[in-house]
Amino acid sequence: MKSYSYIISGASGKPIALDLCTPDAQGNYPLVIFVHGFKGFKDWGTHNLTAKYFVDKGFQFLKFNFSHNGVSLKEKEVFDDLEAFGQNTFSKELFDLDEVLTFALSGEEFKAPDRVFLIGHSRGGGICIIQAAEDRRVSKLVTWASVNRFSNMWQPEQESQWKKDGVIYSVNTRTNQQMPLNITLLEDLEHNSELLEIDSAAKKVSQPWLIIHGMADPGVAVAQAKELNRQNAKSQLLLIQEGDHVFGAKHPWTANEIPEKLKEVCDETISFLRKY
């Protein structure tokens, strides 16, 4: 496997760090773009092993950090830029993903693939649904443990205090950091409600779409996956028995292989992407 790193400009001019993994042999392999979720990053837990798994099966695999995900270019696994994290919005993530797609298909740094597939996890799944609904450059869509509404990520009763204080905090249980969410996140959702309504976007997805969700997901209820599936008659729903939100993975991950549930998810995803 060959690996390459790139930096492109993202929302508000902040950088997006990208990793591209490809098979050793030359060829026009289809490209998978992996989109991380809330409090995620490209080097989290099993992501590097997942990239290798897909490459070994004949894909290119591109993973990246959203420009405002809170991990600076100086770090790989540490949220060292909480100011940027607090300034993040859904619209900024959509801008970033569009820039990544444009970069991947430009042919400037590497040969442009003839097919691009999106895999979005959790909140990243919602971003991918909205992108795919409007972007014919995306050949297929896969969502892992996706949310069906961004507002499900907080409690409704938090919003009045949020508007009063201008910020709420989400605890990172791994690092015990208080991760700020500025009021601009809620304002973005309110002011761009039509664009950012995932359920509505789901109805517009015309590409083949596989929805994968763990039956034991404690973070995003399986009902959200079922609702996405109901919104799009052409989508396929796969429920993973005993699968949690990250399908058995964690950070850090020290084993040399991905966990069994995640391997099942990857195999089902690869099988879906190989079908024409």
Q: pLDDT tens, 67-90?
A: 999 999 999 999 999 999 999 999
Q: What confidence score (pLDDT) does residue 262 get?
A: 98
Q: Token pair 């092993």 is at which residue?
A: 49
Cβ atoms within 10 Å, residue 220? 24
What proportion of the chain, given as a percentage, has pLDDT over 90?
99
Q: What confidence score (pLDDT) does residue 113 get?
A: 96
Q: What confidence score (pLDDT) does residue 155 get?
A: 92
Q: What confidence score (pLDDT) does residue 177 get?
A: 97
Residue 195's identity, in one-letter code, is: L
Q: State whether CATH 3.40.50.1820 applies to domain 2-153+189-274.
A: yes
Q: What confidence score (pLDDT) does residue 126 get?
A: 98
Beta-carbon contacts of 136 under 8 Å, excluding residues fewer than 6 positions away, are: none
Query: E strands of 10-166, at which residues?
Result: 15-22, 31-35, 60-64, 116-121, 140-144
Domain ranges of the chain: 2-153+189-274
Strand partners, 12: none
Low-confidence ranges of the chain (pLDDT < 70): none
d(CA 57, CA 72): 31
Task: Provide the CA 182 distance to its chain's centre, in angstroms.
Answer: 21
Q: What confidence score (pLDDT) does residue 42 get?
A: 98
Strand partners, 143: 120, 211
d(CA 117, CA 31): 6
Q: What confidence score (pLDDT) does residue 118 get?
A: 99
